[in-house]
């Protein structure tokens, strides 16, 4: 990866993070492809793949309504064709339930200078 590519990738992630934490779907779709896929596991541990602006917006809203998430120890690992983000996260349910700590890795893939895949892997810390 060239230095200019790295700067562009870092700028892309700044925009992605801003959109993600604001749950701003218009801002998000400025940095992801129209067919962006969000993959991971559902609450029952089953694989899920979310696609489509309305589906992604609904999931972001549901996550935000259900719990407050605080990230720490975030580190990006950029490779030529993908980026991995490692992190720790504490989720505090808004209904007063017990907080949950987890650690994880998110794998990101790109197409045409935008993020086309966010694949989340996490486990209890």
Taking only the tens place, the pLDDT of each residue in 34-68 is 999 999 998 788 999 999 999 999 999 998 999 99
Question: What's 73's domain CATH number?
Answer: 3.10.450.50
Which residues constitute the domain of residue 27? 3-124
Q: Report pLDDT digits (tens) over 83-115.
A: 999 999 999 999 999 999 999 999 999 999 999
Number of domains in the chain: 1
Give the predicted TM-score (pTM) of the model.
0.92
Q: Give the sheet arrangement for strand 67-78, strand by strand.
A: 47-51, 32-41, 114-124, 100-111, 82-93, 67-78
The tokens describing 42, both together, are: 């559902």
The answer to whether the beta carbons of residues 77 and 87 sit under 8 Å apart is no
Q: Which residues pair with 7 in a beta bridge?
A: none
Are residues 88 and 75 in contact, defined by beta-carbon separation less than 8 angstroms? no
């Amino acid at each position: 990866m060239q230095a200019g590519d790295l700067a562009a990738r870092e700028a892309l992630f700044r925009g992605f993070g801003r959109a993600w934490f604001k749950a701003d779907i218009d801002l998000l779709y400025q940095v992801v492809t129209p067919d962006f896929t969000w993959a991971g596991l559902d609450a029952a541990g089953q694989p899920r793949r979310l696609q489509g602006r309305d589906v992604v917006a609904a999931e972001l809203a549901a996550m935000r309504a259900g719990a407050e998430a605080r990230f720490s120890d975030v580190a990006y690992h950029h490779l030529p064709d993908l980026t991995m983000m490692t992190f720790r996260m504490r989720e505090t349910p808004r209904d007063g339930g017990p907080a949950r700590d987890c650690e994880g890795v998110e794998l990101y893939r790109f197409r045409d200078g935008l993020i086309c895949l966010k694949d989340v892997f996490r486990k209890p810390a």
